[in-house]
Homo-oligomer: A and B are copies of this chain.
Amino acid sequence: MDDKQLYLSSQVCFPLYSASRLITKAYKPYLDELGLTYPQYLVLMVLWENNGVSVNQITEKLGLNTNTLSPLLKRMEKMKLLQRSRSSEDERSVIIQLTESGKQLKLKARPIPEKLLTEILSDNIKIEDVLKLKDILNELIVVLSNKTESSRKI
């Protein structure tokens, strides 16, 4: 038995970690123009699709906890992108509403995904590869999030 398994090159996890950081870096120039970080952009995507959701609903969509989102949303409120307010039905819930400028950003953000895709596509990466990548990653997410879910129940 050798220990090839401990080589960086033979792991799946390192490429995943590395690619994720590189993608965020690739987004940066476009998001800089909007004055956003990548996680802030994710929050906006949730809100553009469904304005007026609770913090809890955002945590579920993004898989982030409130200890990450609370300060992030506070910063975004300070940036006048959104407003936080207690729900009247359930005083524990905080509802996140986009401001006008938060809504406006959607127009500026619209071309970003397309631009990123063209950066990625090349001789060695075709659109089928990107779609295949997405499929496998989504399966992986299902498996791994079920894992942490079931361990929570114990």
Contact = CB atoms under 8 A, between A and B. Distances in A.
Interface string A99-121: 00000001001100110110110
A154 interface: no
Interface in A36-63: 38, 42, 45-46, 48-49, 61-63
Interface size class of A (residues with CB under 8 A): 35 or more
A56 B81 CA distance: 40
A18 B141 contact: yes
A119 B132 CA distance: 21
- Tallying the copies of this chain within the complex gives 2
- Chain A interface helix/strand/loop/mixed: helix
B113 A45 contact: no
Interface string A74-114: 00000000000000000000000000000000100110011
Interface in A16-35: 16-27
A5 B45 CA distance: 10
What are the 6 A-B residue pairs with the smallest beta carbon separation, nearest first? Answer: A20-B20, A15-B137, A22-B144, A5-B113, A124-B139, A133-B136
